[in-house]
Amino acid sequence: MGARRRGPAQPMNILRPPSSTDMVPSRLIEPAEMAAEAGTPDFAWPDFDRWQAAFAAARNFPPRWEGLHRAPPAHTPEAETYRLRKLSLFSEWLDLLARRSTVHAHFARQGIRARVERQDMRLPCPACDPFNAREVGAELEAMPPFHPGCRCVVLAVPVEPAGRRRRPFERSR
């Protein structure tokens, strides 16, 4: 037995493919009302606020903090740009924090000594300078990133072969 249609039979136009309005009730495709507020509100990130205050007090911001020196007035195009820039820094910060233990384990597993090295030495960084060229120990807090936007890396400490004497013109490392 064949399926029986309910309702009045409508002639099908085989020359025109069905459109989305034929398949979806019109109430679902009507334009939705947009919120009066342009953009989304800034999000809370206490570590960011703490670092922003510290860098502002030192009057020195790391290179990755362009445009984040102070929060612009709310509900402006600048506020949306600020929020997106802050969100990008937050995402990068979480990623680097998650990888920190993996990097530490890599060097420890192989018995390789490692040290912290700043990548950008043009401007001083109040957070990174105390750690620059310092050897990494067992604690993760001595591993970068030290702050959001940190560009410090961990490098293996080169080991000189035993028994090799340094020549007078060679510099020590």
Q: What is the DSSP string of 98-158?
A: HHHHHHHHHHHHHT--EEEEES--SS--TTTGGGTTPBP-S-GGGSS--STT--EEEEEPP
pLDDT tens by residue, the chain, 173 residues? 555 555 555 554 445 444 444 544 555 445 544 443 445 567 788 888 898 898 899 888 888 888 899 889 988 999 999 999 999 999 998 898 888 888 888 888 888 889 999 887 777 788 888 888 898 887 777 788 888 888 888 888 887 666 666 666 766 65
Residue 97: count other Cβ atoms within 10 Å of its Cβ.
Answer: 14
Q: With 0.75 as the threshold, say if the pTM is over it.
A: no
What is the pLDDT, as a whole number, of residue 81? 92
Contact 65, 85 (CB under 8 A): no
Q: Which residue has the tokens 């000189």?
A: 160
What is the pLDDT, as a whole number, of residue 40? 58
Which token pair is 92?
């990068």
Contact 118, 152 (CB under 8 A): yes
Taking the CA atoms of residue 89, residue 95, residue 98 and residue 101 in that order, the dihedral angle to the nearest 10 degrees is: -90
Q: How many residues does the chain have?
A: 173
What is the pLDDT, as a whole number, of residue 20? 45
What is the pLDDT, as a whole number, of residue 21? 47
Residue 130: count other Cβ atoms within 10 Å of its Cβ.
Answer: 10
